[in-house]
Structure 1
Amino acid sequence: MRDEPGFSIGSEVWPGLAKVVEEAGELLQVAGKLVAVGGRTGHYDGSDLRERLAEECGDLLAAVTFFAEENGLGAAVQERARQKGALFRRWHEGTPG
């Protein structure tokens, strides 16, 4: 057993869960900034919120993928993502369901 605490990458207890939580928080921070500025991508600190959003989405996607694969959830997570993606698409297109 490694010395890493549970939930971190490399641990034996739900490896990668801590990284999922961290990356989700970072995505929420950027999303909050976008909401606060009415969707404008130029932030007062000079950063491009669209660019930051893409980075944080990618980081969270990588963290979730790693977590799912390392914990034997890969196929179930992929199937759920497929189902939810189809539902979100229907909502976006205005189709009930």
Structure 2
Amino acid sequence: MDEQRFGPAGPYEIGSTTWPGLAKLAEEAGELVQVLAKLVGTSGRTEYYDGTDLRARLVEECGDVMGALAFFTETNALGPAVAARADAKLALFRQWHAAG
């Protein structure tokens, strides 16, 4: 969806000087949670009752969150610390999955 901006950026918006990108990250994360909840509600089936392809939506929303997170961490100088934490967490998740 194309979005058009009107006026100066408010706090937390892309273009602001106060935590730029935070609002977009929260919005995108919320949209991902909605898709995840639908997958839980369908016991993992990817066809939703309205015909929506939840797998396709999942791909879109994961990509949107990853983009918003990359922008947010880069713009707010959080990148290296967040990347280190993400690497450690990913290793832990892999351990849990292997032990599954």
Q: Same fold (TM over 0.5)?
A: yes
Percent sequence identity over aligned pairs:
57
Instruction: Output the amino acid matched with 1:36.
Output: G
Cα distance in 1 between the residues matched to 2:86 and 2:28: 18
In the TM superposition, what whole-angstrom CA distance separates every residue of 1:33-68 from its partner, at most 9, and x where no partner exists?
001111000111111101101110110010011000
Which one of 9, 13, 19 corresponds to residue 8 of structure 1? Answer: 13
Cα distance in 2 between the residues matched to 1:55 and 1:81: 21
Cα distance in 2 between the residues matched to 1:66 and 1:87: 25
1:50 aligned partner:
55
Q: How many residues align?
A: 94
Instruction: Output the amino acid matched with 1:75.
Output: P
Structure 1 residue ranges (4+ consecutive) displaced by more than 3 angstroms after TM superposition: none
1:21 aligned partner:
26
1:36 aligned partner:
41
Instruction: Output the amino acid matched with 1:38.
Output: S
CA drift at 1:3:
2.5
Cα distance in 1 between the residues matched to 2:39 and 2:77: 35
Which one of 83, 86, 93 corresponds to residue 81 of structure 1? Answer: 86
Structure 2 unmatched ranges of 5 or more? 1-6
Structure 1 unmatched ranges of 5 or more? none
